[in-house]
Structures are given as structure tokens and as C-alpha cells.
């Protein structure tokens, strides 16, 4: 099996899975308990919080552990907005993940003024358009660091600066899921930052929300008061500590991992450019995120190609996994004005640090074979 769908999810590193086992079988105590073995777990988790903070260069603020980025993103909205007295403006990017987009729509229904910032042809938020949408009344902004379908990297530093110029009280949330550990980020450029473990070789069902020091934040679910009273529920020690191990592995090999994913991406882009009637979607291959490449094969339906590759043990995506069960147009590609045959033939390839150039070359020749075959069928 060759997995080029790592933006959907990744295989947990063996070392991280072993850490989870340790916290299930041996060190399984509830970190909120008072006896000494449980206090050890609490200390481990405290160290793990610090590692997330240092991965985003945060010297202050806090980490709330969650079940993943969907929860972190939902909580970003509710925690920031629930204590406000008046309903003002919310701005999100037009290409945000459903866990931001659908939440923003739900706030529109209860009276907030929700605006969608458009993107340019590469999939990056247009800075001028964003600036024009800002008002002194803008209470909340949510923008993704890296787009999950085409790998466009947003200029969060400038967007954050503009938002604070318009309203210093505005809370600026970054959905960091696809960028965390893969593109540089500084926590000074946000108030809230979401991550999800399974996107970087940690288990599913664990994630976090970073909250900046001076942010007025009410948190999420109520109950036993865990996570500083901001997100109740017995602490998921195995998941949190396994995620910590994956962050440690990424951080220790950061340069090597990024170069390895980037090399796969550039090789695949070059191989695909040699096939007639292919178009790159998103930023030029050298400038987007190191692990995501989106290519349209004109005259081919991407889901037919996906199944042909699946039959050969190769995993890729059409659109994102989250939207693949819906029969509508792809909202992200629509927003980039990618329509018709170019949208129908769009395939997303996404890499993890364990993919190799040999895999890229194997996949490339199987794709070429299938694309030529499918185009011939279509002409009959
Ligand atoms: N945001 C982005 C950009 C994503 O790619 C994803 C996962 N596809 C999420 C949020 C949601 O993450 P999870 O499914 O782990 O909750």
C-alpha cells in the first residue's frame, strides 16, 4: 500500500503508539487524583503542554486538550463569543474547513454578521479584500494556516496585524491543523490556535487549542473542571502523551522531515507536469506547504482515477475526505474559481515524512497509465 492521503490522516508512529500503551497499561491513573502515581501523570502532561507551546514559539498562554481540531475550532468560536453582550462581525476565509465554515454559518443564523474573505487564484486569503471587510465591530476572525486541499499558506502575520488595527479586542483564531510542525508559526500572530494529533502521526481523538495570555476565553464543556475549568472531562492521558511523542519526533527531525515531504511533492509535480493536460491547483509547487499537491487531470473524473489507483494499492483523495461523501461541487475549488473539467479532475496528494521518492515514481507511472486509459475510454 502506498499512502498519499496523509492530510486525511496519518499512521501513528510506533514510538507514539507504545507511549499510548504505556499510559493505558501501566501509568493509567487519573491525573486529577491525589495519590503520587497520578501526580506523576499530571507532571508528564504539564511537560507535554510546554512542548506544544514551544512548537509554536509561545512564551505565554495555555493549552486546552481536546478531542481534535473539530472540537478546538468549535470551542474557539463558543469560548470567544459566548460572553459578549452585542453580536458583531465575524470574518472567516471562504476556504475554511467545515469545522469552521459550518460553525460560522450557525452564528449567522443567531444574528452575527458573518463575512467570508475571498482567496486569490492560488488559494491564499486576499489581503486587501480582508482589510476591507474589517470593522471596529469585528469580534472574531478565523483563518487557516494551510489550506487542506491545495496547500496554500496564508500570510497570518499580516492578517492578524490588520485585524488588531481594526479592533484591538478582536479575537484572532488560526486553524493550524495542516500547518503545525510543517510550516513555521509564531503564536504572537494569533489568540487561539487549533491542532489535531492524527495529522502528524499521533492517534485520532486527541488535539489541542492554544489560548493566548490575555484572551478573554470562556472555554467549552462544563463538568468536573479539568483543563483549568475550560474543558471538562477525564484527561485522555494515553492520547495526549502519544501526541507529545509525535511532536517530539517531528521537532527533533524538523528539517529532515520537511525536506523529505517537499522532495516527494516536487518530484510528483515534475512527473505529473510531463503528462499532457494536467494543471496544478494552488500555489507553485515550490512555495506551498511541503506536503500537499493538488493536480487536475483534464478529461478524467477524479473519483474514477481514485478507484483505479485504489485497486493498485495507492491512496489519494478527491477534494478532502471530509467532503467526499457530499455530491455537491467542491467549495474550496469553487472559491479559487476552479470549475468544470478542472474541478472534476482534481486529485489531492498529501505526504508524510515516511513517504519516499521511489513511491512517488511508482505512483507516477501507474497514474500515467491510468490517465491515458481513462481518457481513451471517455473519447469512445
Ligand atoms: N481543520 C483542517 C484544516 C483540517 O484539515 C481538519 C481535518 N481534515 C480539521 C480542521 C478537523 O480535524 P479533526 O477531524 O481531526 O477534528
Task: Taking residues 203-231, report their average pLDDT.
Answer: 95
Work out the angle at residue 253's Cα, subtended by the Cα atoms of residues 249 and 258, and round it to the nearest 5 degrees.
115
Residues 232, 273 within the same domain? no
* Ligand 1 probe mutation, 70, 95, 145, most atoms within 8 A of CB: 70
Q: What is the residue with the minimal CA distance to atom 14 of ligand 1?
A: 70
Distance 97 CA to ligand 1 centre (A): 7
Cell of 184: 513555521
The pLDDT of residue 363 is above 90: yes
**In ligand 1, which atom is closest to the CA atom of 70?**
16
Catalytic residue of the set 170, 190, 264, 322: 322
Domain edge (last residue) among 202, 229, 252: 252
> What CATH number should be reported for the domain holding residue 259?
3.90.1150.10
DSSP 338: -
Distance 33 CA to ligand 1 centre (A): 32
DSSP-based three-state secondary structure for 291: coil
Domain edge (last residue) among 236, 252, 268: 252
**In ligand 1, which atom is closest to the CA atom of 197?**
15
* Ligand 1 probe mutation, 71, 96, 148, 332, most atoms within 8 A of CB: 148
**In ligand 1, which atom is closest to the CA atom of 147?**
3
User: Please, is 60 exposed, middle or buried when counting C-beta atoms within 10 Å of its C-beta (0-12, 13-18, 19+)?
Assistant: exposed
Structural domain of 203:
14-252
Calpha distance 91→133 (Å, rounded): 8
Task: Taking residues 188-215, report their average pLDDT.
Answer: 98
At residue 246, the pLDDT reads: 98
CA-closest candidate to residue 112, choices 74, 131, 151, 85: 85
Residues 216, 96 within the same domain? yes
Residues 290, 369 within the same domain? yes
> What CATH number should be reported for the domain holding residue 99?
3.40.640.10
The pLDDT of residue 278 is above 80: yes
**Least confident window among 37-46, 83-92, 268-277:** 83-92
Residues 6+ apart with CB under 8 A from 209: 63, 64, 66, 72, 75, 76, 192, 193, 194
**In ligand 1, which atom is closest to the CA atom of 320?**
8
| 115, 90 contact by CB (below 8 A) | yes
Q: Which residues line ligand 1 (CB under 6 A)?
A: 68-70, 73, 97, 99, 144, 148, 175, 177-178, 196, 198, 320, 322
At residue 328, the pLDDT reads: 65
Calpha distance 217→205 (Å, rounded): 23
The pLDDT of residue 219 is above 80: yes
Residues 216, 271 within the same domain? no
At residue 339, the pLDDT reads: 95
Number of domains in the chain: 2
| 146, 183 contact by CB (below 8 A) | yes
At residue 113, the pLDDT reads: 98
Distance 76 CA to ligand 1 centre (A): 14
At residue 372, the pLDDT reads: 96
Q: What is the residue with the minimal CA distance to atom 8 of ligand 1?
A: 8
Residue 86: CB atoms within 10 Å: 8
CA-closest candidate to residue 96, choices 62, 130, 67, 64: 130
Residues 237, 259 within the same domain? no
Q: Where are the alpha helices (DSSP H) in 60-170?
A: 69-81, 98-109, 127-133, 156-166
Residues 144, 217 within the same domain? yes
What percentage of the chain exceeds 90 in pLDDT? 94
What percentage of the chain exceeds 70 in pLDDT? 97
Q: What is the residue with the minimal CA distance to atom 9 of ligand 1?
A: 69
Residues 67, 173 within the same domain? yes
Distance 196 CA to ligand 1 centre (A): 7
* Ligand 1 probe mutation, 9, 65, 69, most atoms within 8 A of CB: 69
Tens digit of pLDDT for each residue in 306-354? 999 999 999 999 965 455 555 568 999 999 999 999 999 999 999 999 9
Q: What are phi and psi of 188, to 5 degrees?
A: -65, -20
Cα dihedral sign, 67-68-71-76: positive
Residues 155, 271 within the same domain? no
Mean pLDDT value across the chain: 96
Distance 344 CA to ligand 1 centre (A): 23
Residues 285, 274 within the same domain? yes
Q: For residue 85, what pLDDT band results from cuts at 50, 70 and 90?
A: confident
Q: Would you give the end-to-end CA distance of the chain in angstroms?
A: 32
Domain edge (last residue) among 252, 285, 316: 252
Q: What is the residue with the minimal CA distance to atom 7 of ligand 1?
A: 8
Cell of 149: 486541499
Task: Taking residues 258-272, report their average pLDDT.
Answer: 98
Pairwise pLDDT comparison (85 vs 218), residue with the higher score: 218
H helix or E strand, kind and range, residue 258: helix 254-273
Distance 68 CA to ligand 1 centre (A): 8
Residues 209, 69 within the same domain? yes
At residue 377, the pLDDT reads: 78
Residues 220, 260 within the same domain? no
**In ligand 1, which atom is closest to the CA atom of 322?**
8
Distance 95 CA to ligand 1 centre (A): 13
Q: What is the residue with the minimal CA distance to atom 10 of ligand 1?
A: 69
Q: Is 264 annotated as catalytic? A: no
DSSP 33: S
DSSP 197: G
Residues 218, 307 within the same domain? no
Amino acid at each position: 500500500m502506498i499512502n498519499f492521503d496523509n492530510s486525511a490522516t496519518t499512521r501513528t508512529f510506533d514510538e507514539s503508539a507504545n507511549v499510548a500503551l504505556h499510559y493505558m497499561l501501566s501509568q493509567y491513573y487519573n491525573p486529577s487524583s491525589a495519590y503520587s502515581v497520578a501526580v506523576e501523570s499530571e507532571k508528564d502532561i504539564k511537560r507535554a503542554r510546554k512542548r506544544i507551546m514551544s512548537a509554536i514559539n509561545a512564551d505565554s498562554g495555555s493549552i486546552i486538550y481536546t478531542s481534535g481540531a473539530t472540537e478546538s475550532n468549535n470551542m474557539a468560536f463558543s469560548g470567544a463569543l459566548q460572553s459578549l453582550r452585542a453580536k458583531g462581525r465575524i470574518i472567516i476565509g471562504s476556504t475554511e474547513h467545515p469545522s469552521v465554515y459550518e460553525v460560522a454559518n450557525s452564528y449567522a443564523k443567531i444574528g452575527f454578521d458573518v463575512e467570508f474573505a475571498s482567496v486569490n487564484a492560488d488559494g491564499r486569503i486576499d489581503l486587501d479584500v480582508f482589510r476591507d471587510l474589517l470593522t471596529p465591530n469585528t469580534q472574531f476572525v478565523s483563518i487557516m494556516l494551510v489550506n487542506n486541499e491545495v496547500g496554500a499558506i496564508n500570510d497570518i502575520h499580516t492578517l492578524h496585524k490588520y485585524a488588531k488595527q481594526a479592533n484591538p479586542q478582536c479575537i484572532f483564531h488560526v486553524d493550524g491543523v495542516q500547518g503545525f510542525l510543517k510550516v513555521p508559526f509564531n503564536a504572537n500572530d494569533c489568540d487561539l490556535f487549533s491542532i489535531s494529533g492524527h495529522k502528524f502521526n499521533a492517534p485520532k481523538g486527541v488535539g489541542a487549542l492554544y489560548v493566548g495570555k490575555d484572551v478573554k476565553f470562556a472555554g467549552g464543556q462544563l463538568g468536573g473542571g479539568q483543563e483549568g475549568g475550560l474543558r471538562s472531562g477525564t484527561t485522555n492521558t494515553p492520547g495526549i502523551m502519544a501526541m507529545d511523542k509525535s511532536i517530539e519526533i517531528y521537532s527533533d527531525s524538523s528539517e529532515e522531515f520537511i525536506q523529505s515531504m517537499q522532495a516527494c511533492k516536487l518530484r510528483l509535480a515534475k512527473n505529473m507536469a510531463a503528462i499532457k493536460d494536467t494543471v496544478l491547483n494552488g500555489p507553485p509547487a515550490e512555495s506551498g506547504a511541503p506536503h500537499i499537491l493538488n493536480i487536475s487531470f483534464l478529461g478524467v473524473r477524479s473519483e474514477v482515477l481514485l478507484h483505479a489507483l485504489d485497486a493498485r494499492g495507492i491512496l489519494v483523495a478527491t477534494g478532502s475526505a471530509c467532503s467526499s461523501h457530499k455530491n455537491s461541487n467542491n467549495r474550496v475549488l469553487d472559491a479559487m474559481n476552479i470549475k468544470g473539467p478542472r474541478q472534476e479532475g482534481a486529485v489531492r496528494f498529501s505526504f508524510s515524512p515516511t513517504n519516499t521518492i521511489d513511491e512517488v515514481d511508482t505512483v507516477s507511472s501507474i497514474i500515467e497509465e491510468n490517465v491515458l486509459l481513462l481518457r481513451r475510454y471517455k473519447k469512445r
